[in-house]
Homo-oligomer: A and B are copies of this chain.
Amino acid sequence: MTAQRPNPVTSAELVDFAAQLLPRLRARAPKVHCITNTVAQPITANVLLAAGAIPSLTTSEAEIGAFVRSADGVLANLGTLDPERHKAIETAVLHAAKTKVPWLLDPVFVDRSEFRLDYAKALLTGRPVAVQLNGAEFKALSGAPPNQDAVRTFARSHGTIVALTGEVDLVSDGRRLATISNGDALMGKVTAMGCAESALATAALVVGEDPFAAVVAALTVFGIAGELAAAVSKGPGTFAFAIIDALHTMTAEDVVARAKVADA
């Protein structure tokens, strides 16, 4: 995780890294183990495959260890948090921490369940490389409004990257902060879009030596895929599959031409 070269700090450098994300994923084909909710499983797997990664999704106690041991990155998504999923996350996160495999926390709907909120807080102490969440989830988890200052503070105090998704996404590592204005309103009309996006961010952590730039890259690429998909969709049904086509066909040039990344 020690950077061989200076970390990207300008928006131009971040965009340059974003443009390299899909080519890197296609070349490396990282194995990403996703403990994610049952609703999100099919689209999460399809987003990862379209981007060039290899998904696995078991939550079975008897085999989670073996799957995580051979994985390059781990996603812990708290949706549909049943006891099996709960235990699987314990095992996966412990192993990831021990072996320095990057892991990302997606605390889905912590604003709707005290139980889930408490668990998310406990997981945070285990130092995920990144946390991706929306405004309501950020507010529940941090007790602060979802703005730039609060995101930066939360990232610094927890030693993690925070990716706050919304109309404009904010990403901070506690020091640097970037905004990403790509995306389309239809993304909010398809179930598990955020879950699939956090799986892509997990894959990005594997191929990027700077996790801040990696997360910015994933959100930029996913947002652009949403724009390309919206242009050929008639509604959220066709959009859900057009965004997968877009991830499969998108080029580095598409990213450079469309990225709306600003450093702040």
Contacts and interface: CB of A to CB of B under 8 A. Distances in A.
B66 A114 contact: yes
A46 B191 contact: yes
B245 A234 contact: yes
A18 interface: no
A122 to B, nearest CB: 14
Interface in A217-252: 232-238, 240-249
A79 B62 CA distance: 12
B246 A115 contact: no
**Count of chain copies:** 3
Interface of A is mostly: helix
Contacts of A67: 109, 112-113
A131 interface: no
Interface in A41-60: 41-43, 45-46, 49-50, 55-60
A189 interface: yes
Contact of A49 (B43, B81, B236, B249): B236
Contact of A58 (B63, B81, B190, B243): B81
The 6 A-B pairs at the shortest CB distance, nearest first, are namely A235-B245, A237-B244, A237-B241, A45-B191, A235-B248, A63-B113
